[in-house]
Structure 1
Amino acid sequence: MGAWAADSFGNDDAADWVCDLDDHSDLALVREALADVLGAEDYVEAPEASKALAAIEIIAAGLGRPTAAFTADEDAVAWVAKVKPDIDAALVKDALKAIERILADDSELRELWEESDSAEEWLQEVATLRAALQPA
């Protein structure tokens, strides 16, 4: 799986995605990551799910509710500080839908984590991220 931690940035796909994000000055890559998960017809592949979780971290931070995983990723923090993304309600709604797809039975990432010894830790990280999207 190329994962070294259960948080949203603790895998190769998310790390590469954050590097790509640095080439953008808007939310286009964030929206694309969500669209890849939401547009999956049957099965959500692990790389797309991992990128979407990293994108959702950017959304939560843009709302002023960063998670510990986000604050630990210097590149993501720097990008949000530089771009100061304006997060609209539709983007938050899509982020919540994407989380549901990632946690569903037809998600490779969920399956991979269920096969690991860290499934509960990963589920808690995703729950924390989902909570960050909710209004206070």
Structure 2
Amino acid sequence: MGTWGMGHFDSDTAADFAGNLDDAPPGRREEMIREALAFAARTGPEEYLDADDGVVAIAAAALLAAQHPGGTPVDSVYGPDEALPPLPPELREPAVRALDRVLAGESELLELWADVGEGEQWSAGVRELRARLAGAQEAG
């Protein structure tokens, strides 16, 4: 895994996801985000979640959170360059579930960060993203 930081787009996989969004027709971008969130969200807690799937779910959740009031814009040079359509509020619930899954047992991404001694710091960033989405979900 080519990772250079803890940001939501600081890996080859997340940057590739952003590039794929840029390359996709505008009408397909929401569907790609929806699919990334749904895949991680439906992976059961006893199933192993591959690191790449976790990275893509986190990146998709960050893009969703950026569009909500008070959301942090995705300003990484590795994030998408092309505009995203307004993402529907109903994506917040699968985004929260996807982030819960990334933080749960049998998550390769969580294991990789723990192996390098950065599991707590990395998890805190994902939990913060989750809290923003959960708060937005409750508010609206």
What TM-score comes out, normalization by structure 1 length? 0.85
Amino acid at match of 1:59: L
After superposition, the Cα gap between the structure-2 partners of 1:44 and 1:74, relative to the gap in structure 1 and judged at 3 Å, is closer
Q: Does 1:11 align with 2:11?
A: yes
Q: Cα gap change, 1:7/1:100 in structure 2, threshold over 3 Å: closer, same or farther?
A: same
How far off its partner does 1:104 sit? 0.4
| Matched positions, count | 131
For 2:78 and 2:40, locate their aligned partners in 1 and report how far apart those are by CA, in whole Å: 25
Flag the 1:71–1:131 CA change in 2: closer, same or farther, 3 A. Answer: farther
Contact 2:18 2:79 in 1 (8 A): yes
CA RMSD of aligned residues (A): 1.9
Q: Which amino acid aligns with 2:18?
A: V
Gaps of 5+ in 1: none
Query: Cα distance 1:46–1:75, how it changes in 2: closer, same or farther (>3 A)?
Result: closer
User: Is 2:36–2:60's contact at 8 Å kept on the other side of the alignment?
Assistant: yes
TM-score (norm 2): 0.82
Structure 1 contact 62–84 (Cα < 8 Å) conserved: no
Q: Deviations over 1:59-110 (max 9, x none)?
A: 0012244336x2234643x43xx2342322x210000000110000011111
Q: In the TM superposition, what is the alpha-carbon distance from 1:51 to its structure 2 partner?
A: 0.5
For residue 94 of structure 1, give the secondary structure of its aligned residue in structure 2: helix
Residue 51, structure 1, aligned to residue 56, structure 2: yes
